[in-house]
Structure 1
């Protein structure tokens, strides 16, 4: 029998909970003792920790005690509960902000947390499902197989024989999270004036974004819907696996989903033992991540090693869809074009894209920023795309934020976190990996092959500057796209020709004719370079197949 998410909701009368800072503030305004008690506890833990760091510095014990202090920080965050654990998890993906010894301990917060009592977990299951545990599951592990910040997971078997994972939320989670978010918001208002304007300006908004995502993450009905939407986006993709949801055994606080037998992405030895090529795993991971950002606009914002698995058949499995986000079409297009502007080192166009994406306000004078971007990003890109990695960009770019009015929109904090985490995972499999070796070909291929009018417009904007056709840019894009083994030039050329002869392509036709004869000369040299570049693709059989397909399409139309 099939069950929908609405069936699960009917069994749980508690409404879906949404983050509302005003309502939370109003609630605790009349209960100040709760906030005071919690604040004193937080201040005590961190006060003692900071005092110990100061004493280490005074007595030259920093080196001797650094591992001890890193462990202390992890334990403090764990004791303070789920909100602070989530903050620690976010920091664990920022090697540009956190020193290495602390980073190694914070990474343990991703999937090495103490579980709560199984008896309590089973009571929650029975209350939520309105079933005895043995009636819901034929078998279930006596202890959790994993414990995370918001819940823990048991392995079970349904009476119909399917192996499943059962996620059970930690008890009394909502009151703890709401109080911590209230205190964080208060603290952000006090701290913001002492920070540089570009960092402190949106501190409250960042807390609100964090709160919104945290509330979404603790609603397992929302997570189940996210998983199904994600699976729909990758329907027919033979490289990505998404577990199915068993709605009959799922509520806001319990989620039953397909069991995944896989290898964690940071387990290089396990991946090699399974006969898998780490480079192929990296390619699948990066390409699927780019598809989320630039095609679907619906992306997994928490891709840490506990949430991504390599399957023995070479597929990538995603789990834990609590933290997701959605991008607009315009944002997707602007991200794609900004990557190409970076390839082409067009820093003026890149600065304009930063304005469109919200990193700079519309009234910002970008003229003094352009040379700064060229200096920082030019060094990061280096002489070739192989010299580039995303962490280099975040490290160097953070320096610009102190000198110019850059700010990180709350949504992009999640994107940056996702990209840095994915690159970190890839580097753990291959220290020589460069994210652009996969991403640049993908973005170039997408711009060249995309049929949507909006993306065509972006391509034209990239290929023309100040009314002049940029021959080198087209060469560069084709050369980079051809390094992607999934790129086939002939179908792309066919799409381009169809567009050129269409009514919509009138402007581009006129511009290309002008480009061929601009500066009072025929640009035969540029055309010859392009032909040399693409000639290997024009094989007789391929040409015949493309021509046949074009004839069929004309016949249909």
Structure 2
């Protein structure tokens, strides 16, 4: 028997398909102009931006689940091109709250009758989002904030997740191999992420843990949760009022030092990610305020992440390498984090990193903005078959959003300078120097060993050459099937030449016209295959590599 959820999922699938089908067909035509045949189409940045706007409209039309999906996609430059990331990054989870009459049953099912539990309860929500909304109330004489899950959102999300699961195979059919793995992982990640964000018990645990990590730190304030009023669908906490962190006029009127606020925010996130291993992952201005003493108030821990010890070490290595402009160190850290394939062309990737740093470097080696470096890396990530682990995607998003807030506070804010000072204070850069010295020592030891072992081996090899007893095995690494394509073209050319010659001979003698017609009919398809082989990708070549000219052209566009 078909359940109600399945029926709703079928209906949502039809709606989703109706919204996305034009885009799917468009992308399919990019690969084959006439769907079943034809060459690929060239798509410029303006066209990509128009399509991104259409995708944004579709996501907003489809409602809460797809707003969250759009936010997740905005953190995945390994799935979408930069133009899409730029458009989807503006997607804010800010929707009108549900009516009080619909929300009240959800709240009372968790905490009991509103009028009996609370001293006072404001029926108008102070903020609304796709999955929940926040109210103000008074409890035991204290002002509190109560986050309540949006009524009926569970069934809607469940239906939408099933619809997306059914849609995924269709999307994969029109996606190149480099993106299929990332898309499959993204679908699993989204399923986990949205369920976690709807679980207010998890949010309360994350909030409490981060609050404990900063206990005694007067630069940050995090609301204290109220366990007896909290559950899976309701989260109650103390109410902390403040000035929005991007309201620079109000901050100036309060006499607060905006440069210090920017530095405090950056240091808080460095501690979360590098030291504590648990971090608030949604630092847009709506979730950050400043109290009258200059402490930064954090709200909404629904989107949060964890970093294990191994990943923390790799992030530190990445930051130190960026600060030291160590290209090999950057690439090594990316490989060990799993974002870059060990088989990737290091020379090409090194050129990309070098260009990215050179483009944004000032007079001082550390005077460049990490957001610009990350943007160049993100552009590269889409072009190369790289993968972004979930937490690294969140960290990239946090880094860019946090710096955007910091630049709003202080236009001269220098992320790298603050990060470098923090790493130095914590002893990470000294550790990096120690490791470099140890590595140099290992290399020196290996070189000394080679000085002893290589001469005898060289002498033996020369003896074998002198005796004509040296065999050399050669293996060709044809990653892009260039030799295979050349072999096909040679074979097609020979078959076409033989077919044309045979047809001409049979036709000239005019003794067997049927045989000439058959030879010609066999030759024509082979000729078509040869023609298509010669036209494909405008000749035999490997995947285009990043050059300085190509990067300059991309920046100009």
Q: Please tell me the TM-score bracket, short chain as reference.
A: 0.5 to 0.7
Could you tell me how far apart the structure 1 residues matched to 2:397 and 2:74 are? 10
Change (3 A) 1:28 1:432: farther
Matched, 1:136 2:103: no
Which residue, out of 97, 102, 108, partners 2:82? 97
Tell me the residue number matched to 2:301.
Answer: 321
**Displacement of 1:354 after TM fit?**
1.0
Correspondence list, 1:296-445, <5 A: 296-364=276-344, 366-384=346-364, 387-445=367-425
**8 A contact 1:219–1:252 mirrored in 2:** yes
Query: Tell me, what secondary structure is at the counterpart of 2:286?
Result: coil
Could you tell me how far apart the structure 2 residues matched to 1:217 and 1:297 are? 19
Tell me the residue number matched to 1:87.
Answer: 69
Tell me the residue number matched to 2:253.
Answer: 273
Query: Tell me, what secondary structure is at the counterpart of 2:279?
Result: strand
Tell me the residue number matched to 1:116.
Answer: 98
Could you tell me how far apart the structure 1 residues matched to 2:76 and 2:343 are? 30
Could you tell me how far apart the structure 2 residues matched to 1:397 and 1:413 are? 12
Correspondence list, 1:49-88, <5 A: 76-88=58-70
Tell me the residue number matched to 2:145.
Answer: 165
Give unmatched runs, 5+ long, in structure 2.
27-45, 446-557
Which residue, out of 175, 188, 193, partners 2:155? 175
Change (3 A) 1:400 1:49: closer
Could you tell me how far apart the structure 2 residues matched to 1:32 and 1:123 are? 25
Tell me the residue number matched to 2:441.
Answer: 467
**Displacement of 1:300 after TM fit?**
1.0
Correspondence list, 1:166-205, <5 A: 166-192=146-172, 194-205=174-185
Could you tell me how far apart the structure 1 residues matched to 2:24 and 2:176 are? 23
**8 A contact 1:196–1:402 mirrored in 2:** no
**8 A contact 1:209–1:411 mirrored in 2:** no
Query: Tell me, what secondary structure is at the counterpart of 1:359?
Result: coil
Could you tell me how far apart the structure 1 residues matched to 2:176 and 2:423 are? 34
Change (3 A) 1:350 1:45: closer
Matched, 1:126 2:101: no
**Displacement of 1:134 after TM fit?**
1.2
Could you tell me how far apart the structure 2 residues matched to 1:153 and 1:224 are? 15
Could you tell me how far apart the structure 2 residues matched to 1:408 and 1:169 are? 30
Could you tell me how far apart the structure 2 residues matched to 1:172 and 1:74 are? 24
Matched, 1:213 2:196: no
Deviations 1:182-203 (A, max 9, x none): 3334444433454454433221
Change (3 A) 1:92 1:193: closer
Query: Tell me, what secondary structure is at the counterpart of 1:155?
Result: strand
**8 A contact 2:5–2:158 mirrored in 1:** no
What is the TM-score of this pair, normalised by structure 1?
0.67
Bigger shift: residues 237-246 or 399-408: 399-408
Which residue, out of 16, 20, 35, partners 1:42? 16
Deviations 1:162-210 (A, max 9, x none): 1000111111222222232333344444334544544332211122222
**8 A contact 2:284–2:402 mirrored in 1:** yes
Give unmatched runs, 5+ long, in structure 1.
1-26, 53-62, 451-455, 470-506, 508-557
**Displacement of 1:100 after TM fit?**
10
**Displacement of 1:94 after TM fit?**
8.8
**Displacement of 1:368 after TM fit?**
4.7
Bigger shift: residues 248-257 or 74-83: 74-83
Query: Tell me, what secondary structure is at the counterpart of 1:306?
Result: helix
**8 A contact 2:241–2:291 mirrored in 1:** yes
Deviations 1:206-253 (A, max 9, x none): 222222121111111111111110111111111111111111111111
Could you tell me how far apart the structure 1 residues matched to 2:87 and 2:345 are? 39
**Displacement of 1:403 after TM fit?**
4.9
What is the TM-score of this pair, normalised by structure 2?
0.67
Could you tell me how far apart the structure 2 residues matched to 1:349 and 1:189 are? 38
**8 A contact 2:74–2:86 mirrored in 1:** no
**8 A contact 1:198–1:407 mirrored in 2:** no
Change (3 A) 1:377 1:190: farther
Tell me the residue number matched to 2:518.
Answer: none
**8 A contact 2:97–2:125 mirrored in 1:** yes
Larger Rg: 2
CA RMSD of superposed structures (Å): 3.5
Change (3 A) 1:30 1:262: closer
Change (3 A) 1:386 1:28: farther
**8 A contact 2:320–2:429 mirrored in 1:** no
Q: What is the number of residues matched between the two proteins?
A: 420
**8 A contact 2:17–2:167 mirrored in 1:** no
**8 A contact 2:219–2:296 mirrored in 1:** yes
Could you tell me how far apart the structure 1 residues matched to 2:60 and 2:429 are? 48
Correspondence list, 1:449-528, <5 A: 456=431, 458-462=432-436, 466-467=440-441
Tell me the residue number matched to 1:223.
Answer: 203
**8 A contact 2:147–2:234 mirrored in 1:** yes
